[in-house]
């Protein structure tokens, strides 16, 4: 892995020069099929997808969906690159699949913004035990936390998404999650919480940047932006094998790891793995 990353990092210098002078190189093909986790597409992809064609002359065909489906599409030959919030299974690594971690982001807990006096959720901070109590069903009413006498509406991403699995592993410590509403696409929880006072959910912090009508909570008084916030997930590029030089697939990954890609991560409050 270290050797592979070093190869890509050396290529980043070349593509940074290409970016600076807006010179579009010639590739064996100029189209790449991307299968992208919905939360990565929301947090990181919206800005950079348009830049692939603009700066490096590569067209992208993009599928957005759960991380496990992004990996499935790569395995089945429907995509050339997967961007996933799930780690690559060992059985795929043994077959030569390459995982390139590029970003770390916090898993944020958020509620509807309605937080005035007498509102369902007047809190800005929850303890980790309170978070586990809410998502396990042991705490089911906001009055138990000092809020109004109103049921807590638990909204979650689909059970197969990277968001759900990482949340269950890092925060819930594999305890069963009980929910009222579930969505196959992880980012759908944002709109649902925006329209439903008294609701609560979780999502990668970068996907919540600039979203209105939500309130991101601290956990044990730590913000998702704090370096010591403990609940993180890793985003990775995944490919079947190391791509040949001067292919669009390699150009996409190089550009994602370039200064331009790192800048997007920083703007969304995410942490590049390679820094």
Rounded to whole angstroms, the Cα distance separating 87 from 100 reads 10
Rounded to whole angstroms, the Cα distance separating 115 from 197 reads 9
Long-range pairs of 215-218 with CB within 8 A, sequence gap ≥ 24: 215/110, 215/111, 215/112, 215/113, 215/115, 215/121, 215/124, 216/108, 216/109, 216/110, 217/108, 217/109, 217/110, 217/111, 217/123, 217/124, 217/125, 217/126, 218/124, 218/125, 218/126
pLDDT for 53 equals 80
Flag the least confident range among 4-18, 54-68, 102-116, 118-132. 4-18
The DSSP line for 6-36 is: HHHHHHHHHHHHHHHHTPPPP-S-SEEEEEE
Residue 119 pLDDT class (50, 70, 90 cuts): low
* Mean pLDDT of the residues in the chain: 85
Structural tokens at position 208? 């919540």
* CB contact burial 260-273 (16+ within 10 A = b; e otherwise): bbbebbeebbbbbb
What are the extents of the domains in the chain? 2-105+233-272, 107-219
Q: Specify the CATH number of the domain 2-105+233-272.
A: 3.40.190.10
Q: Specify the CATH number of the domain 107-219.
A: 3.40.190.10
pLDDT digits (tens, 9 = 90+) for 61-91: 999 999 999 999 999 999 999 999 999 999 9
């Amino acid at each position: 892995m270290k050797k592979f990353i070093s190869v890509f990092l050396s290529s980043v210098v070349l593509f940074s020069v290409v970016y600076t002078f807006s010179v579009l190189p010639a590739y064996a093909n100029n189209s790449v099929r991307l299968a992208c986790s919905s939360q990565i597409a929301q947090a990181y992809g919206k800005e950079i997808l348009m830049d692939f064609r603009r700066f490096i002359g590569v067209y992208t065909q993009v599928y957005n969906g759960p991380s496990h489906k992004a990996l499935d599409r790569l395995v089945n030959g429907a995509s050339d690159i997967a961007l996933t919030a799930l780690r690559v299974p060992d059985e795929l690594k043994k077959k030569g699949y390459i995982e390139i971690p590029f970003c770390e982001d916090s898993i944020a807990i958020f509620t509807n913004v309605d937080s005035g006096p007498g509102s369902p959720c007047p809190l800005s901070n929850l303890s980790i035990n309170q978070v586990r109590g809410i998502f396990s069903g042991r705490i089911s009413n906001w009055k138990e936390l000092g809020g109004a006498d109103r049921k807590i509406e638990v909204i979650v991403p689909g059970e197969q998404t990277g968001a759900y699995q990482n949340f269950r592993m890092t925060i819930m410590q594999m305890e069963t999650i009980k929910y009222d509403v579930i969505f196959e696409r992880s980012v759908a929880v944002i709109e649902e919480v925006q329209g439903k006072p008294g609701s609560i959910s979780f999502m990668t912090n970068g996907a919540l940047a600039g979203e209105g009508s939500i309130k991101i909570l601290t956990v044990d008084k730590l913000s998702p932006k704090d370096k010591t916030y403990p609940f993180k997930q890793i985003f990775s590029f995944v490919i079947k094998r190391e791509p040949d030089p001067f292919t669009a697939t390699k150009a996409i990954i190089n550009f994602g790891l370039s200064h331009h890609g790192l800048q997007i991560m920083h703007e969304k409050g995410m942490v590049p793995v390679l820094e």
